[in-house]
């Protein structure tokens, strides 16, 4: 997708950011994608609330969602709002479980690599 200046726009990424450890990890993954310049993070609550400023950002952009657990609140938010997504990342697919404390240290670089491989993008 191209922006007004003809450049390819980064995908927008949204995270569930739920109250469990995997919700926080989903948020951390989305923040890291933003920090690296791979995607632009935006506010899931703004979409759920129907805030015009957040909804305008969706136009012409690929949308990525990061859900921590199988409840998939981010996916449900976009389904309820009637917006199609390009990529749905489920941390549960990588062995993370809701309400089970994450033991030890999570290698965020490795996890981002898995996410990008699934999205068909190279690590930058």
In a domain, 92, yes or no: yes
pLDDT at 1: 53
Segment holding 75, helix H or strand E = helix 73-81
Range of the domain at 109: 17-119
- Residue 38 confidence class, pLDDT cut points 50, 70, 90: very high
pLDDT at 7: 53
Q: In degrees, to the nearest 5, what angle opens at C-alpha 69 toward C-alphas 85 and 80?
A: 40
In a domain, 104, yes or no: yes
In a domain, 9, yes or no: no
pLDDT at 79: 96
76-105 pLDDT, tens digit each: 999 999 999 999 999 998 888 887 777 667
Question: What is the reported pTM?
Answer: 0.85
Of 52, 101, 108, give the one whose Cα is nearest residue 81.
52
Tell me how far apart the alpha carbons of residues 26 and 1 are, in angstroms, rounded to a whole number.
24
In a domain, 4, yes or no: no
47-56 pLDDT, tens digit each: 999 999 999 9
């Amino acid at each position: 997708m191209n922006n007004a200046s003809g450049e390819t726009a980064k995908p927008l990424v949204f995270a569930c950011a739920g109250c469990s450890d995997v919700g926080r990890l989903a948020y951390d993954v989305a923040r890291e994608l933003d920090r690296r310049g791979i995607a632009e993070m935006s506010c899931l609550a703004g979409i759920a609330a129907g805030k015009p400023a957040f909804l305008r950002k969706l136009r012409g952009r690929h949308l990525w969602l990061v859900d921590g657990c199988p409840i998939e609140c981010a996916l449900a938010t976009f389904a309820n709002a009637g917006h199609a997504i390009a990529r749905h990342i489920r941390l549960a697919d990588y062995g993370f479980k809701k309400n089970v404390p994450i033991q030890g240290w999570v290698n965020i670089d490795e996890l981002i690599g898995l996410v990008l491989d699934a999205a068909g993008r190279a690590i930058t």
